[in-house]
């Protein structure tokens, strides 16, 4: 018997629903389920639960950092948005960081497990590559990431990420500029050169996901 394509039709109270509507509902409920679980677990339990993963990530990143001998590989993600300018977005986003708003910070990406921004650095557990990784993000102005047209971005926010022992394992530069109808964002990340391709390419998608969600939240605020 030949295999025929699967077709599913959904009707709610005699109203047909497209397949996309079911998937949209699923995504919304999946986000709600993740939010509930993260809230219930809390920071201490999350650290404990993911210790095997973060310990393995520490070892791998330390090896790649030492093997790279100070050389870095770069990946860039760019977004443009209409209906919101850079000042409005940054006021919301930096406000969430300063307030330690875990709900907003964790909701931006399903692989955000912990984001504690209440101190002078941000403690983060999120997936780098395929492994949940714990690192400390330090914001400062002298991150050595530049591009020929960096002057076209009036706002540049740089940071370095270190392991608990101080090993530097990533660098980021977030750049923001207004456009006639909204804003432009350029997100640059650097990992040790010896790290596998999945780290920089995976983080490009990570950036695209989290900043899309943050832009939507800022616009709705």
d(CA 221, CA 218): 5
d(CA 11, CA 22): 11
pLDDT, tens digit, 9 for 90 and up, residues 187-210: 999 999 999 999 999 999 999 999
Residue 58 sits at φ, ψ, to 5 deg, of -55, -50
187 forms beta bridges with 77, 174
For the entire predicted model, the pTM comes to 0.93
pLDDT, tens digit, 9 for 90 and up, residues 76-111: 999 999 999 999 999 999 999 999 999 999 999 999
Residue 143 sits at φ, ψ, to 5 deg, of -65, 125
* Mean residue pLDDT across the chain: 96
């Amino acid at each position: 018997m030949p295999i025929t394509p699967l077709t599913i039709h959904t009707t709610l109270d005699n109203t047909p629903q497209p397949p996309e509507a079911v998937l949209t509902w699923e995504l919304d409920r999946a986000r709600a389920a993740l939010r509930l679980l993260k809230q219930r677990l809390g920071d201490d339990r999350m650290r404990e639960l993911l210790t095997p993963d973060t310990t393995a990530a520490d070892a791998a990143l330390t090896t790649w950092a030492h093997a790279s001998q100070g050389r870095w590989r770069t990946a860039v993600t760019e977004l443009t948005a209409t209906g919101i300018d850079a000042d409005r977005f940054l006021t919301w986003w930096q406000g969430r960081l300063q307030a330690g708003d875990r709900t907003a910070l964790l909701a931006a990406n399903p692989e955000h497990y912990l984001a504690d921004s209440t101190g002078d650095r941000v403690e983060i557990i999120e997936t780098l590559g395929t492994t949940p990784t714990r690192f400390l993000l330090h914001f400062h102005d002298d991150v050595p990431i530049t591009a020929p047209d960096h002057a076209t971005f009036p706002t540049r926010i740089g940071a370095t990420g270190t392991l608990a022992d101080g090993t530097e394992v990533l660098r980021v530069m977030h750049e923001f500029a207004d456009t006639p109808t909204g804003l432009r964002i350029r997100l640059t990340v650097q990992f040790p050169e010896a790290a596998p391709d999945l780290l920089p390419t995976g983080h490009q998608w990570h950036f695209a996901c989290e900043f899309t969600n943050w832009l939507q939240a800022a616009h709705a605020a």
